[in-house]
Amino acid sequence: MHLSADLMSAALMASNEGIVIAELNDFNTPIIFANPAFLQLTGYTCEEILHQECLFLMPLTDDEERKRIHDTLQKRLECSERLRLEGKGRSFYVDFSFRYTEKDGRYSHIICFYKDVTQEEYLKSVLDKVNILYREMSKRLEYTNETDNLTKLKNRGHLSTRGEFLLGAAKREKLRLHAILVDINCFKMLNTIGGATLGDECLIKVADIIRRYFSRSADIAIRMCDDEFVIVCIEDDDQRVYDRVESLRKEVNELKMKDVMGREHDVSVSIGIYSVTPEKSTTIEEMIHNAGQLVFRHNQAPDGQVIHDKLDGHARPFRH
């Protein structure tokens, strides 16, 4: 179907998409036509852009992208991409493309299309910011809901999420799972002597030490209650767990707490370890209970005697 020149001109003038036509010479590409939509989009007048290079609107990106677009034109390849451009006094986003026309077997003109997508990009930017804020808010809510405000370790609510995940992985892959209960022996004394401030300081220092030894992705450290911490971890070598716990115990043993009178007080902990390759019926609560029973038995033993015990799995208490 052949359209008359007048009809083609009317279509170009009425288009909502910015259109520029330029001649293709050996050394330059002067603009010979721009429709009203392009002039409105860029803020330029016809007189200001006639005979300008067709790519005089440069993308607000790095030099590499500008060079790539020019190379595409020089090689007479087609182009189609989204760009941020600088007009007269304003920047905007467009879906930019260009095509060529032929005459006598050679390219004679280039037609550039500029579809205004500024509003679309603005809305996308707003949605991206909203999504970022939502993720940050979710993280803060998770942090608030599952983190102990004082020690910054996870609280017991975390056991129902991350703890169950570790338990499920250990069951599925037949891995060794360990529940470790850490009880601060001197906590009530510190609270009596130095009040809540000294007790809080002790909790924070012990939590920092626990975090230092149990911070892998396969570890979770929980503050369970006033003077108790629980660690749940996956580790196939039981001895490595015992070694980490012993290092933790020794470091806690070096702590010295000063009361308001300047008097120093030692810190001591009892630690129970319950280790098992979990069966289908194994629960995190059961493992923590068994570790706690070891600590309880140990604290009831005469003369600080160390009790080695085997429940369903393999367990050891530590005390100093």
Q: Which CATH number fits the domain that encloses residue 53?
A: 3.30.450.20
Residue 135 lies in a domain: no
Contact 231, 221 (CB under 8 A): yes
Q: C-alpha distances in angstroms, 73 versus 33, 59, 241, 287, 297?
A: 18, 15, 65, 69, 82
Domain holding 220: CATH number?
3.30.70.270
Q: Which pLDDT score, from 0 to 100, does residue 95 have?
A: 92
Q: 192: part of which helix (H) or strand (E)?
A: helix 187-213
Q: At 5, phi and psi to the nearest 5? A: -60, -35
Range of the domain at 263: 148-319
Contact 72, 59 (CB under 8 A): no
Low-confidence stretches of the chain (pLDDT beneath 50) = 302-312, 319-320
**One domain for residues 169 and 313:** yes
Look up residue 136 and give its DSSP letter.
H
Q: C-alpha distances in angstroms, 242 versus 179, 211, 271?
A: 12, 16, 10
**One domain for residues 91 and 204:** no
Q: Within 10 A of 129 (CB to CB), how many other CB atoms are there?
A: 10
Q: What spatial distance separates the first Cα and last Cα of the chain, rounded to whole Å?
A: 96
Q: Which pLDDT score, from 0 to 100, does residue 284 have?
A: 93
Q: Which pLDDT score, from 0 to 100, does residue 304 have?
A: 37
**One domain for residues 117 and 197:** no
**One domain for residues 178 and 101:** no
What burial letters (b/e) apply to 156-195, b meaning 16+ CB within 10 Å? Answer: bebbeebbeebbeebbeeeebbbbbbbbbbbbeebbebbe
Pairing of strands 228-234, 177-184: antiparallel
Q: 178: part of which helix (H) or strand (E)?
A: strand 177-184
Contact 174, 279 (CB under 8 A): no
**One domain for residues 184 and 62:** no
Contact 270, 248 (CB under 8 A): no
Helix axes 187-213, 238-253, angle to 10 degrees: 130
Give the Cα separation of 268 and 229 in Å (integer): 13
**One domain for residues 175 and 241:** yes
Q: Which pLDDT score, from 0 to 100, does residue 60 have?
A: 59
Global confidence as pTM? 0.55
Pairing of strands 256-258, 264-266: antiparallel
Q: How many domains does the chain have?
A: 2
Residue 143 lies in a domain: no
Q: Which pLDDT score, from 0 to 100, does residue 320 have?
A: 41
Q: Which pLDDT score, from 0 to 100, does residue 308 have?
A: 39
Q: Which pLDDT score, from 0 to 100, does residue 180 have?
A: 94
Residue 126 lies in a domain: no
